[in-house]
Amino acid sequence: WQCEQAVDLATKLKAATDADGSSVLDTTALLLLPDMGDGRPHDHTNLAPALVGKCGGALATGKAVNFGGAPLGNLYVTLLQAMGATNKTFGEDGTAVLPGVLST
């Protein structure tokens, strides 16, 4: 059900036109994230997050990437930088940008 809702939202964003004529999805970043890897210790390893949208061209799209156990916080650092923030860290474990996610 949640995946169906995400597809519905992405479809609507793609159909909507932004002020510059591009689709709203092109200027958006949706993070689809499973709840936990293992709910008992609130583990957030072995997840399969998905990014949908181009974030104004800041995200490299159209690929699947395995980051081999990189901390989830690194994804948040990457998204912050995609949105123009200068953060180098996020939380306890976000200390780097994930390679290949940003288009620059």
pTM of the model: 0.86
How is residue 74 written in tokens? 């690194």
Q: CA of 86: how far to CAs of 77, 79, 92, in Å? A: 9, 11, 17
Going residue by residue through the chain, which has 104 residues, state the pLDDT in tens, using 9 for 90 and above: 988 999 999 999 999 999 999 999 999 999 998 776 666 666 667 788 899 999 999 999 999 998 888 888 999 999 999 999 999 999 999 999 999 999 97
The CA angle 60-16-80, to the nearest 5 degrees, is: 35
Of 97, 100, 96, 99, residue with least CA distance to 61: 100
Dihedral of CA 50/56/58/64: which sign? positive
Strand partners, 90: 94
